[in-house]
Amino acid sequence: MTAVVATESVRAVIDGLPAEIVVVDPDIVLGYARDQSGFTDNALPAAVLLPRTTDEVSACLAAAHRHSVAVVPRGAGSGLSGGANATEACIVLSLHRMTAIVEVDAVNRIAVVEPGVVTADLRARVATDGLFYPPDPGSVEFSTIGGNVATNAGGMCCVKYGVTGDFVLGLQVVLADGRVMRTGRRTVKGVAGYDLTHLMVGSEGTLGVITEITVRLLPAPRPAQTLVASFPTLDGAGRAVSGISASGSTPSMLEILDRTTVMAVDEMAKMGMGENTAALLLVQSDDVDADVVLADIAALCTGFGAEDVVVSSDPAEASMLLEARRLALPALEGLGDWLLDDVAVPRSRITDLIASVELIASETGLTIGVFGHAGDGNLHPTIIYDDSDDASRAAAMSAFDAITRRALELGGTITGEHGVGRLKTGWLSIEQDETALSVQHAVKAALDPSGILNPGAVLAR
């Protein structure tokens, strides 16, 4: 391993910090060079800083600001858009040591946590008090709350409960020059001043480094019941999704898998889902009258042509029925190298997007599986290609761009929950108008005038 080359400025930064939070061993530093994204650039960072407190984060940023050294904040590194990728001669600031669940207030239904807390750990901790933290990204078992807030992560419960930002009440943030500010509140209501909390949510480490998060909690729901409906036509599944939305029912989960994904899952798990399945819907309800809700949805699915509808009778069976959704990405990963897209369209255009993906797959000669959150129109087309073949890589990037473009044409957005990162900076200027972009650049310049925080992420330079 080639030694990390530190510039004079980087050495000046790290020399003034506690030795126990500084890592320059190239074998260790390499592990902090990138997140889980594909087709994004990265470099070997000059150093990795592992602060344990807000004061240490402040010291790190103050020093970096003073010496004009770029800083890339990092959570668990589980992102899929390149938002945590290191840049040339930068310092990676990893928050993974800040893992305290500072407080759980059952009376006021809030929790205060540090950014390195794993999402699943927070959910498990508050459950012991009969409470519920709803956000559930697919990476819930290993992603951190700080990373979730930085990208405004979603998940399968979004259709009923919303995204991470809907549960963030307040933040402690260290700004680019090391100053510390608190935003938001602990109260149910509060409208004093500009909403700086939600300016920071989804900013992907470009405006400040989050060191404490106050989230609101809900009473724990009853165990969910699950319905699985298989459709012989894509159109039937799409009309069922529209019908469920129009019915006034709000399931706690509404997921879809296309034919390619269903076949991949069936090949992996031998679930016997059948070659005639064009689309699979998975629906959950945690309402008190979940049995009635799912009975109505079952009748609706049958009316739109579902050939097989199964409803769980107990939590164990519910978990078993959801296994197909949990296996979607692992099953597609087993087909080859993969590039995951993240787009969202109006719910009424879901099947239009899936049909377009099928056409794009045919035109590029690639396998593309689609799964995602039908309840809020957020889908994850997953492109299978051969990374060792230049032509296959080019075809994958062409397909990725075509899918993203089609999502915009259908009235959608370039990212529903993974963030812009470095993967989609070019697309941001296509989705948003010139005035909106200029305002965002102005905000960035006001909070990070030296441009040291996560340069190249979100806003193209």
Whether 367 and 310 share a structural domain: yes
Instruction: Output phi, psi for 15, to 5 deg.
Output: -65, -25
Whether 384 and 260 share a structural domain: yes
Q: What is the CATH number of the domain that holds 143?
A: 3.30.465.10
50 contacts 21 by C-beta, under 8 angstroms: yes
Residue 374 counted as domain residue: yes
Residue 61 counted as domain residue: yes
Whether 76 and 160 share a structural domain: no
pTM reported for the whole predicted model: 0.94
318 contacts 233 by C-beta, under 8 angstroms: no
Work out how many domains the chain is built from and give that number. 3
Q: In the prediction, which pLDDT does 352 show?
A: 94
Q: In the prediction, which pLDDT does 143 show?
A: 96
Question: Helix or strand or coil: residue 239?
Answer: helix
Q: In the prediction, which pLDDT does 271 show?
A: 76
Residue 450 counted as domain residue: no
Which of 385, 409, 433 delimits the end of a domain? 409
49 contacts 6 by C-beta, under 8 angstroms: no
311 contacts 283 by C-beta, under 8 angstroms: no
Whether 377 and 231 share a structural domain: yes
Q: In the prediction, which pLDDT does 249 show?
A: 86
Whether 231 and 197 share a structural domain: no
Q: In the prediction, which pLDDT does 3 show?
A: 54
What is the rounded CA–CA span in Å between residue 6 and residue 393?
33
Q: Which of 453, 5, 27, 432 shows the shortest CA–CA distance to 208? A: 453
25 is in which domain, residue-wise?
8-94
Here the tokens at position 435 are 């005035």
Instruction: Output phi, psi for 208, to 5 deg.
Output: 175, 170
pLDDT in tens, 292-351: 999 999 999 999 999 999 999 788 888 878 888 888 999 999 999 999 999 999 999 999
Whether 135 and 201 share a structural domain: yes
Whether 196 and 68 share a structural domain: no
Tokens 């989705």 sit at which residue? 431
pLDDT tens for the chain, 461 residues: list them: 455 667 899 999 999 999 999 999 999 999 999 999 999 999 999 999 999 999 999 999 999 999 999 999 999 999 999 999 999 999 999 999 999 999 999 999 999 999 999 999 999 999 999 999 999 998 889 999 999 999 999 988 899 999 999 999 999 999 999 999 999 999 999 999 999 999 999 999 999 999 999 999 999 999 999 999 999 999 999 999 999 999 988 899 999 999 999 999 988 988 777 678 999 999 999 999 999 999 999 999 999 999 999 999 788 888 878 888 888 999 999 999 999 999 999 999 999 999 999 999 999 999 999 999 999 999 999 999 999 999 999 999 999 999 999 999 999 999 999 999 999 999 999 999 999 999 999 999 999 999 999 999 999 87
Whether 247 and 315 share a structural domain: yes
Which of 36, 66, 94 delimits the end of a domain? 94
Residue 257 counted as domain residue: yes
| β-strand pairing of 378-385 with 71-74 | unpaired
Which of 196, 219, 242 delimits the end of a domain? 219
Those residues with Cβ within 8 angstroms of residue 299's Cβ, 6 or more apart along the chain or in another chain: none
Those residues with Cβ within 8 angstroms of residue 125's Cβ, 6 or more apart along the chain or in another chain: 101, 104, 111
Q: What is the DSSP letter of 205?
A: T
